[in-house]
Amino acid sequence: MADTTYVSDNNVKENVKLFKESAVYLFGKDEPVGKIGKDWTPGDKKPLGYFSEDGIEIGKEAGDSTEIKGHTGATVLQMNSGGYYTVKLTALEVKKETVELYFSTTVGADGIVHVDANVQAEKKKLVIVGLDQNDNLVILYAPEVQITETESLNWKHSDLFSFGVTLRTFKADGGNGLGKADMYFYGLVKDGVAAASASSH
Question: For residue 82, what pLDDT is reported?
Answer: 78
Question: For residue 200, what pLDDT is reported?
Answer: 52
What does the domain layout of the chain look like in residue ranges? 19-64+77-196
How far apart (Å, rounded) are the C-alpha atoms in residues 113 and 102? 11
The answer to whether the CB of 46 falls within 8 A of the CB of 26 is: no
Mean pLDDT by 10 residues, the chain (201 residues): 83 86 95 93 94 94 78 77 91 94 93 93 96 94 96 93 96 90 90 67 47
Question: For residue 47, what pLDDT is reported?
Answer: 94
Question: For residue 201, what pLDDT is reported?
Answer: 47
Question: For residue 54, what pLDDT is reported?
Answer: 93
CATH class of 19-64+77-196: mainly beta
| Angstrom distances, CA of residue 73 to CA of 66, 69, 125 | 14, 5, 44
Question: For residue 32, what pLDDT is reported?
Answer: 93
Question: For residue 30, what pLDDT is reported?
Answer: 93
Listed in sequence order, the residues at least 6 apart from 13 whose beta carbon sits closer than 8 Å to its beta carbon are: none
Question: For residue 80, what pLDDT is reported?
Answer: 67
